[in-house]
A and B are shown apart, each in its own frame.
Chain A
Amino acid sequence: MPKRQESTSESLGEKLNDALGRPVPASARGVIDAADDGDLFFALTPAQLGPAIAALQGLGASHVMLVGFGFGKAGKRLAVEEVMAIPNGPLARLRVELPAGDPTYPSITKLVPAAQWDEREAHDLHGIVPAGHPDPRPLVVHDPAPPAAPFKPFVAHGDGVYQLPVGPIHAGIIEPGHFRFSAVGESVLYLDARLFYTHRGLEHLVEGRTFAEALPIVERACGVCTVTHATAFSRAVERLTRTVPPPRARLARVLLAEMERLYNHVGDLGNICAGVGFNFGTSRLGWQKERLLRLNEALTGHRYLMGVVAPGGLRLDLDERGLVGLGAAVTEIEHEVRSIVRLLVRSDGFMNRLHGLGVLSRAEAMRLGVLGVAARASGLAGDLRRDRPADGYSDLQVAQIGASTGDVAARFHVRAQEAAVSAALIVDIAGRLPAGPMSVALAREARPGAVGLAGAEGPRGASWLWLMAGLNGRIDRLHLRSASFANWPAVASVVPGNLVPDFPLINKSFELCYACTDR
């Protein structure tokens, strides 16, 4: 990190100290760990957490994630760490170590609505109690052991109001989620979603493992964001070990990330067509997605790009033969997608279904901390590729795509335009990938207790990874905050006021993963 940022961090630290009204412990002032690469770190008491967050919000900072974890002997002591991102500034980590025997801290959800699920998850998985949380129902563990109350969906009551339970077993082959609609006739009054049916405990599974052992597990949090998660993990490890991947790998990671975005966006555009039963778009775009998956296979040997990105660079070099024709093939597919989208946009019957549906206002998107396509379709500009460029993105211009209406049509258009941007990046990079090694060895061992924090902009938005190093180059704690996790509450929030049969379409316009939400 450049020197300038360090000094900014220092001054921000001072500002935060002033805002808190009293000095925080000297050890917690500003940057305390050089390995954290410029992140701000504060050790706070439970009572200081709220004011510190408010002070950071005053600087324009936004919520990234809240991590609950155990530490000390056998993880007996508990702590929470709220991570916030200061625009054009560093990341801030506010850690609260909770007293032994009383793992309670004042909930921050009223201050940071985007943290609502984070806090509920920390409670379910670690037993950390956010006192005063407006919705303390279980989230991850559906039927906790007594005396905790089991999950009960929120429903509306009144004359003619009925409940419509959908899932977790669906008529089609889709991931499991339970949706409880309260509806009058065909109008939805309220929607409560219950996820985490595919919770596998990945974060617990990697504890005590080496980085190399953990990578395939983290990568498989879900099947369609593999590059995103592997990249976030690798960057976190690289920050911990002060490793800089070689130029070829840095640019190749961009290539892979954009391939992932492109095939997801093309497939998701097709899925929006499926939401209105428009078979033309579904099948044509489905075929283009298949062509992209085959390019992935030619490039890396894996259709979904698993096992390629690794700490230090890439685990294997890209296939030369796959790389040669890549630019031309992607250009052709992009033209094809563009002409299909043009036909779709010209179909009144199709576009009529999309306009004005599932509107996510800018204010609501900001309040809930919505990310990715959904945020950009609602007038927010966030994109990690431009806001916090890492790897090859530092030297690239990524065009900003956006829309303001926040409806299904806006998300459709944003996806279509982003697909074109991704294709252009791929064509550009495929032609000028520098020669050289694909990976370097990790520069040093991670200091036990240090935290590596890294994000990657995936097809559904920014996924963040929080990685605490343990002894002997092993992982102590890990938390993966996927973009889908951050966006799910927004889906439930935009549905009321729409019609019951329009829900699948609204859902598909967000197209969130369940698996990487549930982990």
Chain B
Amino acid sequence: MIPSAAVTTVLLAALQLIVFVLFAPFLTATIRLTKARLQSRRGPGLLQPYRDLAKWWGKLPLESNASGPVARYAPPVVLGAILTAALLVPEATSRAPLLGWGDLLVVVGLFATARFVLALSALDAGGAFGGMGSSRDVAISALAEPGLVLALAGAALAAGSSDLGIISAFGIKQGIGLLGPAHLLAAAAFAIVIVAETGHHPVDNPDTHLELTMIHEGMLIEASGRSLATLVFASELKLVVLAAVFSAAFFPFGGATEIAPGPIALGLLLGLGKMLIVGQGLALLDASIAKARIMTLPDLLGLASLLAIAGLGIQVLLP
């Protein structure tokens, strides 16, 4: 029996939502654990991010005198944008839960919306660190955006569609033959963008206590209680979604091409495995290199754009 499209959408969306929401703190926990082990520390347990979120969720946010409605309503908007993006990305199967509702440009746009609202809320609190953090974050994402779009454009050009599901299905069909030079260049560009977007070394230090060096943390410094829980969870989820986009566009192998429980379960496990690999890569970066001087970041992000453009060039000139 083939389920109707509507039922499929609802079932897939529910599955993906539950898996992503439950998995996001875990992915952060594995990164922290690996980092701790690489520093010869025991590190917090894998449940610590869940405990943190639960603790913050139980507290009312403390608002600064200067802050208004923006700071209050921004956290749900940020989380909403990321959650919506989460449903536009194919994970277990090459069919995104919200099939046909939006392509990769919509995903990119939702990320941009989340960032814009977060930056606004950081400014709204009136603290100097919020302004500093948002100014830096917006500058970095403005530099990272071209790399992000161009890298995805490479994958879209090869598949002949900007729909992530079609790109993913194309990749699965191509198999190992997908990994041509153009494809790998675009994947490398996207990897750099993930580092920048999720705030890991050498771009940002996710667990610094040095206020003056903060980028993402600077924007959260005035948030507390439930608002902080929402924003921290949104950034944990963002890493999961970015990793899902990465695997759907560049390494979709193992994803289910049909809607059946067996292949979906397999695709899901493989998808989560790929996310863990992305996380471990970020943990390795954090542990093994220093944070770069802030004025050298344009070089790094320019490199991402350059790699993506080189990939596109190869694809256009040497089809």
Contact = CB atoms under 8 A, between A and B. Distances in A.
A43 interface: no
Contact of B210 (A162, A275, A282): A275
Contacts of B294: 186, 499, 501
Interface in B208-247: 208-213, 221
B291 interface: yes
Contact of A283 (B41, B211, B213, B288): B41
Given A349-B289, A353-B293, A280 B209 contact: no
Interface stretch (A165-173, A256-264, A383-391): A165-173
A62 B211 CA distance: 37
A276 B292 CA distance: 8
Contact of A166 (B201, B211, B288, B290): B211
A163 B212 CA distance: 13
A41 to B, nearest CB: 47
B39 interface: yes
A352 B293 contact: yes
A283 B40 contact: yes
B128 A164 contact: yes
Contacts of A501: 212-213, 294
Contact of A171 (B35, B221, B296): B221
A27 interface: no
Chain B interface size, as a band, is 20 to 34
A11 interface: no
A151 interface: no
B128 A280 contact: no
B205 interface: yes
A173 B289 CA distance: 24
A274 B40 CA distance: 15
Contacts of A393: none
Interface string A253-286: 0000000000000000000011111111011100
A280 B285 CA distance: 11
Contacts of A304: none
B132 interface: yes
A245 B38 CA distance: 48
Contacts of B131: 162
B286 interface: yes
B212 A504 contact: yes
A353 B296 CA distance: 10
Given A166-B212, A277-B291, A499-B293, A283 B128 contact: no
Nearest to A347: B290
Contacts of A353: 290-293
A501 B217 CA distance: 13
A197 interface: no
Nearest to B127: A165
A280 B287 contact: yes
Contacts of B211: 166, 170-171
Contacts of B40: 283-284, 287
B128 A278 contact: no
B39 A283 contact: yes
Given A280-B288, A352-B293, A499-B294, A170 B209 contact: yes
B202 interface: yes
Nearest to B209: A172
Interface in A351-405: 352-353
Contacts of B296: 352
A196 interface: no
B285 to A, nearest CB: 11
B295 interface: yes
A283 B290 CA distance: 13
B128 A163 contact: yes
Residue among B221, B288, B291 having the largest count of chain A Cβ atoms under 10 Å: B291
Interface of A: 162-166, 170-174, 186, 273-280, 282-284, 287, 347, 349-350, 352-353, 499-504
Given A347-B289, A502-B293, 13 more contacts: A170-B209, A170-B211, A171-B209, A186-B294, A274-B210, A277-B213, A278-B290, A279-B35, A279-B286, A283-B39, A353-B292, A500-B212, A504-B210
> Top 8 closest A-B pairs, CB basis?
A172-B209, A283-B39, A277-B205, A278-B290, A277-B291, A504-B210, A276-B290, A501-B213
20 contacts: A163-B128, A164-B128, A164-B132, A166-B128, A166-B211, A170-B209, A170-B211, A171-B221, A174-B209, A276-B291, A277-B201, A277-B290, A279-B286, A280-B288, A349-B202, A349-B290, A353-B292, A500-B212, A501-B212, A501-B294
